[in-house]
Structure 1
Amino acid sequence: MTEALDAVLTRLDADFDASLARLFDLLKIPSISTDPAFRADCAHAAERLVADLAAIGFDASVRSTPGHPMVVAHWKQAPGKPHVLFYGHYDVQPVDPLGLWTTPPFEPRLETAGDGSQRIVGRGASDDKGQIMTFVEAARAYIAEIGGLPVNVTILFEGEEESGSPSLVPFMAATAEELRADVALVCDTGMWDRQTPAITTRLRGLVGEEITIACADKDLHSGMFGGPALNPIRVLTRILGELHDDEGRVTIPGFYDGVGEVSEAIKANWASLGFDEAAFLGGVGLTTSAGEAGRSALELVWSRPTAEINGITGGYTGDGFKTVLPAVAKAKVSFRLVGDQDPDKIRAAFRAFVHDRLPPDARVAFHPHGGSPGLRLNDDSPALHKALAALADEWGRPAAMVGSGGSIPVVGLFKSMLGMDSLMIGFGLDDDRIHSPNEKYELESFRKGQRSWARVLAALAE
């Protein structure tokens, strides 16, 4: 495999200019999924990808959905070898505000940065067309150079990721047997820094709750009723204020059930990343960590659960002053989940926590806003360690095993619907300005991303 891999890497380097031209052709298509005016462009992007994949040897097709089409492609000519599912999306975010773009968003170009490095500028360059094409180009080089891929590959590109993926669940349910593989490869992630590749090994889940406290049947004059009348804002804020103790821990009974500790090996990996906690907080005007005492910022964001108040309203909030006791007060509360925390149990525990603290004359109503569990890749996964080694070979330094404070819904779907773990490997950077004007993708990310996938596929075949 080493000789074959060397040949593939050589071909990728020789064909790099042509691969960049192919990416530019894809970036020129304004496949904005949220705007019906671009429906035909989304279809065009899907058709272009299918034509490209078919041309290099995949059994590829456009699959219709009630929304934008899916792209599904198979290359299954490696008997006895693992089967991987590669996922990405071809749709892009809207370009507003257009006036902040230095050049038209769908006229991709190369730009030279102040340090002399080059970057690809255009909508979708990093999110996610540049990322998906790193894998396609690696597959192209394998098939052209040695006549096939080292593993069996299924590709799934969706066209609605930027608009909530409304068609994804029904499509996956209908095609589960076709899509199921040994492991999923998800490219919609990033590097640790410009020189350090990363694999995202854990994602936090999410539970959202909207809570409404009602007391009197109407707003009341605070001079006439202040004192004897119960104020729902006071009730609500007292309850919310009891969500955390003085050490930053969440006080809801049973909240930490299923929350495990990070292994010492993972902690050592995170410590080796040189993360500057002071700069992290200082960048947003803060100085002191407010989370659980004794835990690092990376540990808090990547591996610990949270309870956060995201919004609170009640009474008069307009200009001037109005002395009123409101009839209702509302808050939006979210919980980030990790490990084996059960979203349904967390929701029920929070509601019981609130009910137990209601005084007479106070009533409560809840409105749920989604619920999904956290995800964690097994630290001992053979596929994970093969991919880590492959990335280290390409980048010349150990790959970071990082977490994400947020969620990537498709990873949860792969686990719950298809029974697959995911290797989340991408080559974006924090400053790629995804979803913003002047989105960019480093030329080095595109080049070494191709080479990285070639190495990862070779490693997974072993």
Structure 2
Amino acid sequence: MTDLSPVLDRADRNLDDSLDRLFRLVRIKSISTDPAYKADCRAAAEWLVATLADIGFDASIRDTAGHAMVVAHHAGATDDAPHVLFYGHYDVQPVDPIELWENDPFAPSVKDLGNGRKVITGRGTADDKGQLMTFVEACRAYKEVHGSLPLRVTILFEGEEESGSPSLKPFLEANAEELRASCALVCDTGMWDGDTPAIAAALRGLVGEEIIISAADRDLHSGLFGGAAANPIHILTDILSGLRDETGRITLEGFYDGVEETPSNIKAGWETLGRSAENFLGDVGLSIPAGEKGRSVLELTWARPTCEVNGIWGGYTGEGFKTVIAAKASAKVSFRLVGQQDPAKIRESFRAYVRSRVPADCSVEFHEHGGSPAIQLSYDSPVLTKAKAALSDEWANPAVVIGMGGSIPIVGDFQKMLGMESLLVGFGLVDDRIHSPNEKYDLKSFHKGIRSWVRIIAALAAR
């Protein structure tokens, strides 16, 4: 592998200028969800195009029905160099409530917290301007030392991630050939802790369903009809209670099709992270895991599917008491998916189960609330293996491979629409206050994030 010392040294020497460039980007009020900031979003896209062009990228603004995309390309050191797509977003969340900010959210600065810890303050510093600039500055250091990049690099920055990405799928579909690469790099995640980098290899999918059980044609007097008339609340609660057995497993037919056990070496690595049921649940006033028996909290939240009731209502819920048998009862239920579980099959299995439990003189209706498959990067993927080694060379502790309980829609879009796996590496910390007042990004995260991408770029370029 090429000696990285000159590139890393250049990244170190550039740090003050790198910070200045990040500050200039953070000062732009690119709030995508508020039409009042449309011009600011355009300004952020234009600034990024100019910055990428300055280091040799063929960069351009691509207009959409909403806010613009930024697309940039750079050749590799050789024509057959591996090709990566780096994704980030330049838009930010609104700053409300503004009165809770200690400083102007669009006047970034470096704040000394003591004990050697310094942070960069301002809206978007962690989500996602500081993160995307770590990659841009790594490319800059490479170009200044070698005059080229060892990889072929395509960059995609969007301006609507914080407002639902309405233009993203149409844009990917229309520009699939241009954007397709060997893998995608996504820097919108976090570290395990301040000294331990992490690669997210799994993201759970989601199925959402709303069900409405209808019985009598009106609410009934429970004295006159109680014991004879069907009670939809009873029916609904029986249905919901039957979704899990006494061991915590979901009972739907075929539910576990496509669910694989996590490799023992990965689980062993998770066990070293110190996340117990007591310290995980203790923060929310609980202590006993409620999912499948015999599994750790990390396995339950990262690698196992779930069924959760997110809302339930019916009958009289106002002040005082009213003795009625409700005509309707409703619930919202969500399933988190892992592995190769099929959202459509899960939805149909759930609906078939519910229909089988509804009496003949009652009815049920369903309302769909989204569905997406899980994302799983192979634990022995060469891309993951190389990135893990590169990160471990940079940080005090070896990199860990983690899962994520939630979803990042863009990762699914890359897989489904472009046929690419995504490497999720980010340098945010749990206390970065993203989407909240007083957002920050650790200076160490920014500095060592740049150095980390230098190492990952070199690792991915190696044959």
Whether TM exceeds 0.5 here: the answer is yes
Matches within 5 A, 1:90-239: 90-239=90-239
Give the total of aligned pairs.
Answer: 461
1:134-174 Cα offsets, whole Å, 9 max, x none, are: 00000011111110111000000000001111000000000
Structure 2 partner of 1:426: 426
Matches within 5 A, 1:245-324: 245-324=245-324
Structure 1 partner of 2:380: 380
Return structure 1 stretches of 4+ with deviation > 4 angstroms.
Answer: none
Distance in 1 between residues matched to 2:180 and 2:426, nearest whole Å: 21
SS across alignment from 2:216: coil
Q: Share of identical aligned residues, percent?
A: 65
SS across alignment from 2:364: strand
1:158-204 Cα offsets, whole Å, 9 max, x none, are: 00001111000000000000000001000000001110000000010
Task: Report how far residue 114 of structure 1 moved.
Answer: 4.2
Give the letter aligned to residue 87 of structure 2.
Y
Distance in 1 between residues matched to 2:412 and 2:234, nearest whole Å: 38
Give the letter aligned to residue 108 of structure 2.
P
Structure 1 partner of 2:400: 400
Structure 2 partner of 1:23: 22
Matches within 5 A, 1:366-377: 366-377=366-377
Matches within 5 A, 1:1-12: 1-3=1-3, 5-12=4-11
SS across alignment from 2:369: strand
SS across alignment from 1:148: coil
Distance in 2 between residues matched to 1:107 and 1:96, nearest whole Å: 15
Structure 1 partner of 2:31: 32
Unaligned runs of 5+ in 2: none
Structure 2 partner of 1:68: 67
Distance in 1 between residues matched to 2:140 and 2:261, nearest whole Å: 42
Distance in 1 between residues matched to 2:403 and 2:189, nearest whole Å: 11
Distance in 2 between residues matched to 1:33 and 1:162, nearest whole Å: 7
Distance in 2 between residues matched to 1:114 and 1:224, nearest whole Å: 71
Say whether the 8 Å CA contact 2:276–2:296 is kept in structure 1: no
Task: Report how far residue 432 of structure 1 moved.
Answer: 0.6
2:27 matches 1:54: no
SS across alignment from 1:18: helix
Distance in 2 between residues matched to 1:203 and 1:77, nearest whole Å: 30
Structure 1 partner of 2:457: 457
Task: Report how far residue 452 of structure 1 moved.
Answer: 0.1
Relative to structure 1, is the Cα distance of residues 274 and 2 closer, same or farther in structure 2, using a 3 angstrom cutoff? Answer: farther
Distance in 1 between residues matched to 2:455 and 2:76, nearest whole Å: 19
Task: Report how far residue 433 of structure 1 moved.
Answer: 0.7
Task: Report how far residue 115 of structure 1 moved.
Answer: 2.9
Task: Report how far residue 269 of structure 1 moved.
Answer: 1.5
Q: Larger deviation: 358-367 or 444-453?
A: 358-367
SS across alignment from 1:44: helix
SS across alignment from 2:127: coil
Distance in 2 between residues matched to 1:293 and 1:277, nearest whole Å: 12
Structure 2 partner of 1:338: 338
Task: Report how far residue 270 of structure 1 moved.
Answer: 1.1
SS across alignment from 2:388: helix
Distance in 2 between residues matched to 1:401 and 1:116, nearest whole Å: 28
Distance in 2 between residues matched to 1:341 and 1:103, nearest whole Å: 46
The RMSD of aligned alpha carbons is 1.0
SS across alignment from 1:84: strand
Task: Report how far residue 233 of structure 1 moved.
Answer: 0.8
Task: Report how far residue 319 of structure 1 moved.
Answer: 2.2
Task: Report how far residue 276 of structure 1 moved.
Answer: 3.1
Q: Could you tell me the TM-score, scaled by structure 2's length?
A: 0.98
Q: Could you tell me the TM-score, scaled by structure 1's length?
A: 0.98
